[in-house]
Amino acid sequence: MATVAETPAVERNYLNQGEGILSWLFTLDHKRIAILYLVSVTMFFFLGGLFALLMRLELLAPRAWLFNPEDYNKLFSMHGIIMVWFFLIPSIPTTLGNFFIPMMIGAKDLAFPKLNLLSWYIFMFGGLVTVFALIRGGVDTGWTFYTPLSTTYLNTYVTAAAAGVFIAGFSSILTGLNFIATIHGMRAPGMTWFRLPMFIWTHYATSLVLVLATPVLAVTLLMMGVERVFHVGIFDPALGGDPVLFQHMFWFYSHPAVYIMVLPGMAVISEIIPTFSRKPLFGYDFVAYASMAIAAIGFLVWGHHMFVAGLSVYSAMAFSFLSYLVAVPSAIKVFNWSATMYKGAISWDTPMLYAIGFLGLFTIGGMTGLFLAALGIDVHVTDTYFVIAHFHYIMVGGTVMAFLGGIHYFWPKITGRLYPEGLARLSALIVFVGFNLTFFPQFVLGYLGMPRRYAAYPAEFQMLNVLSTAGASILGVGYIFPLCYLLWSWKYGKKAGPNPWRATGLEWTTASPPPKDNFEVSPVVDGPPYDFGRMREELHLG
């Protein structure tokens, strides 16, 4: 690998090369675009989180006491729409992916920088349309827009909300396209496919799903919108349509979408664990193949969202079988990450704490997926809080933890500053405790039979709901702390050197923050990633 660059005496970096708001709004620099996205997704995260908080407050009591049921229905719908499409799907790829994919492969920028900026504008436009729907009165279809409820029976801003999501989808597609082209065509000399950091492999798999699945969502929402606006019947049985067809098309996208949401989290974990264990990623080849397998098999399991929806018994069996198959590569990855820690030299820095939390919570979330894949089990727990707990363990216990871990890990490189370690570790602990208190009781609630999307519930479910709400308030605090201290550290944090974690990887060979063109000298690669042994001298190890 390339030698470590000298820290420049005069700090000209991507942040100060070009002043003024216009230089940011018209930037073509992937790092600045990543920052634009970071600001956007953070705003959406807290907006979606606010809805969650309001929902949990409502659920403190069995009767609808804080909101009437119609408004509660809007809350969970908006929470889902904003969190899925405006936070989870863009989060890691558009922030850490945009920033670090070129750097990790030794390139100056992505393949198509203008397309990258366009992606952000499209994303913001879609967000604007959705927020418009929100302000004008909200949407109450659930994030799943099932027909004929959404097309014929509701009077809220369904079309506007769907339009916002439709628009944002194009942003996803363009980002995925950019990443694929970049990873194929912009690698530094010597950076062969099997020398790529696992972050790149995993984002590559994510991008394949992004470009192939998202168009199906676009066309599904388009047809739903046409039906609603022109009063024709594509999915409405009263007019000759088939509501189950909508579900098939919707889930054909939305199942791969969950892999779009979790694979980037896995990408971050694959970087953090080797660095903080100071060992190569165990079973690199297998982790790479597993990522691709998750992307591929992930396209074949959508029917497991429809086991009680009217599938034939034989289709259901096929989908159940495939759902178990897709669990295997995820298991392989968890084992490999754990094995990476074995006999390592482990440090408990905040990114590693988040990664360890990810291992536990993603494993629980994945295991409960095994429950749901079992046909007989799913009949009882589908459409209950069991499913809600399952996907929150993966999305929040998995992706959000990985996102926070990645933000902390890459913070010194992005900003040139260190965050306050003590406060950060405390926050990680608060998040972990708050998360489990919020969502573990929901597994029990689901088994007991509490259905999803209920504004009011039988009194015997109250205690578990109160526990869950208590957890949610702790979790909220856990998220607000990093927002504050990270912002604080950007101005007042201790200055960071090029490689505070002594990680391998091209991105750590350049200054913190990096110069506009990423590298003073274009790197040349001559060895595998995570090779602490080969780099012992540069990293002052052993």
Partner 1 sequence: MAEPLALILREQFHEPSQQRETATLGMWIFISTEIMLFGGLFLAFTVYRMYYPRAFIAGSADMNIALGATNTAALICSSFTMALGVHSAEIGSRRFLNLFLALTMVLGAVFLGIKFTEYYLHYLDHRVPGPGFFFAGADASKAEMFFLLYFIMTGLHALHMFVGEGILFSMILRNRAGSFSAEYHTPVVLAGLYWHFVDVIWVFLFAIFYIEGLHLHKW
Partner 2 sequence: MIPGLLLVAPASAIAVEYDWLFWSLVVVCGGVALAIAVFVVWSAIHFHRRSENELPPQIKGSLKLEVTWTVIPLIIFLGMFGWGASLYFEIERPPANATEVYIVARQWMWKAQYLDGRREIDELHVPIGRPIKLIMTSQDVIHSFFVPAFRVKQDVLPNRYTTVWFQASKPGKYHLFCAEYCGAKHSGMIGYVYAMEPRQYALWLSQGAAEGSLASTGEKMFHQFGCANCHHFDGQGPCPDLKGLYRRPVLLTTGQTVIADESYIRESIVDPAAKIVAGFSNVMPVFKNLVTEDQLVELVAYIKAIGPEPGTQQPSSAGSVPASYGGQPGISGSGPAGISTDQNRAH
Enumerate residues 221-240 that contact partner 1 by CB under 8 A: 222-223, 226, 230-234, 239-240
- Can you tell me the distance from the alpha carbon of 193 to that of 204, in angstroms, rounded to the nearest whole number? 11
How many beta carbons lie within 10 A of that of residue 538, not counting itself? 16
Chain centre distance of CA 55: 22
Q: Which amino acid is at 227?
A: E
Q: Considering the complex, what minimum distance in angstroms separates the CB of residue 230 from partner 1?
A: 5
Q: CA-CA distances (angstroms) from residue 103 to 74, 89, 203, 313, 506?
A: 42, 22, 14, 49, 6
- Can you tell me the distance from the alpha carbon of 300 to that of 290, in angstroms, rounded to the nearest whole number? 16
| Burial (0-12, 13-18, 19+ Cβ within 10 Å), 103 | buried
Could you tell me if residue 512 is left (phi over 0), alpha (psi between -120 and 50 degrees) or otherwise beta? beta
Could you tell me the sign of the dihedral formed by the alpha carbons of 184, 188, 194, 199, in that order? negative
Instruction: Report what 211 binds from partner 2, partner 1, none; CB cut-off 5-8 Å by kind.
Output: partner 1
**CB-wise, 360 or 515, nearer to partner 2?**
360
Q: Considering the complex, what minimum distance in angstroms separates the CB of residue 401 from partner 2?
A: 14
Applying CB under 8 A, the site for partner 1 has a residue count of 42
Find the binder of partner 2 among 359, 388, 396, 525 (CB under 8 A). Answer: 359
Q: Torsions phi, psi of 137, nearest 5?
A: 150, -10
Q: CA-CA distances (angstroms) from residue 124 to 42, 45, 91, 170, 209?
A: 13, 14, 13, 11, 22
Binding mask 283-322 for partner 2 (x = CB under 8 A): xxxx--------------------xxxxxxxxxxx--xx-
- Can you tell me the distance from the alpha carbon of 478 to that of 232, in angstroms, rounded to the nearest whole number? 48
- Can you tell me the distance from the alpha carbon of 142 to that of 250, in angstroms, rounded to the nearest whole number? 13
Binding mask 87-126 for partner 1 (x = CB under 8 A): ---------------x----xxxxxxx-------------
**CB-wise, 89 or 464, nearer to partner 2?**
464
Binders of partner 1 among 474-533, rule CB under 8 A? 522
Please name the helix (run of DSSP H) or strand (run of DSSP E) that holds residue 446, with its range, or none. helix 421-448
Instruction: Report what 309 binds from partner 2, partner 1, none; CB cut-off 5-8 Å by kind.
Output: partner 2
Find the binder of partner 2 among 42, 363, 415, 442 (CB under 8 A). Answer: 363
Using the rule CB under 8 A, give the single segment among 211-219, 256-264, 369-377, 419-427 that binds partner 2.
369-377
Binders of partner 1 among 163-192, rule CB under 8 A? 173, 177-178, 180-182, 184-186
Is residue 513 reached through a cis peptide bond, with omega within 30 degrees of 0 on the bond before it?
Answer: yes
SS3 string, 262-287, reads HHHHHHHHHHHHHHHHCCCCCCHHHH
Instruction: Report what 239 binds from partner 2, partner 1, none; CB cut-off 5-8 Å by kind.
Output: partner 1
| Residue 314 within binding range of partner 1, rule CB under 8 A | no
| Residue 233 within binding range of partner 2, rule CB under 8 A | no
| Residue 11 within binding range of partner 2, rule CB under 8 A | no
Q: Considering the complex, what minimum distance in angstroms separates the CB of residue 316 from partner 2?
A: 7
Find the binder of partner 2 among 230, 238, 422, 491 (CB under 8 A). Answer: 238
| Residue 317 within binding range of partner 1, rule CB under 8 A | no
Q: Considering the complex, what minimum distance in angstroms separates the CB of residue 226 from partner 1?
A: 6
Binding mask 315-354 for partner 2 (x = CB under 8 A): xxx--xx--xx-xx--xx-xxx-xx-xxxxxxxx---x--
**CB-wise, 181 or 325, nearer to partner 2?**
325
Binders of partner 2 among 50-109, rule CB under 8 A? 64, 69-70, 73
